[in-house]
Amino acid sequence: MEVGLFTVHWGFLFDSLTVIMMCVVTFISSLVHFYSFEYMYSDPYLIRFMAYLSFFTFFMLVLITADNFVQIFLG
């Protein structure tokens, strides 16, 4: 994206620390998803809650793999 003199490149950075943190976040998030599904099984808004939880996990992964400050802010 380029606006005047301001240029933003969209990219992902994968190094050893990023891969380790992705594994940690994915593992902890999957445990939270399993626990939340069992805990909120009878709730009528379970699908909405799980969607928000998955959305949060996605943006955590965006935050970890960000290549620039704009993506960090988005994550």
DSSP string, 52-68: HHHHHHHHHHHHHTB-S
Residues 6+ apart with CB under 8 A from 49: 36, 40, 43
Q: How many domains does the chain have?
A: 1
Identify whether 2 is part of a domain.
no
Q: Would you say residue 43 lies in a domain? A: yes
Report strand pairing: 6-7 vs 2-3: antiparallel
Asked if residue 50 is part of any domain, the answer here is: yes
Put simply, whether the predicted model's pTM sits higher than 0.85 gets the answer no
In-domain check, residue 49: yes
- C-alpha 21/C-alpha 2 separation (Å) is 31
Q: What are the tens digits of pLDDT across the range 16-75?
A: 999 999 999 999 999 999 999 888 888 899 999 999 999 999 999 999 998 887 788 877
Q: Give dist(CA 42, CA 68) in Å, integer.
A: 42
Domain region containing 62: 13-74
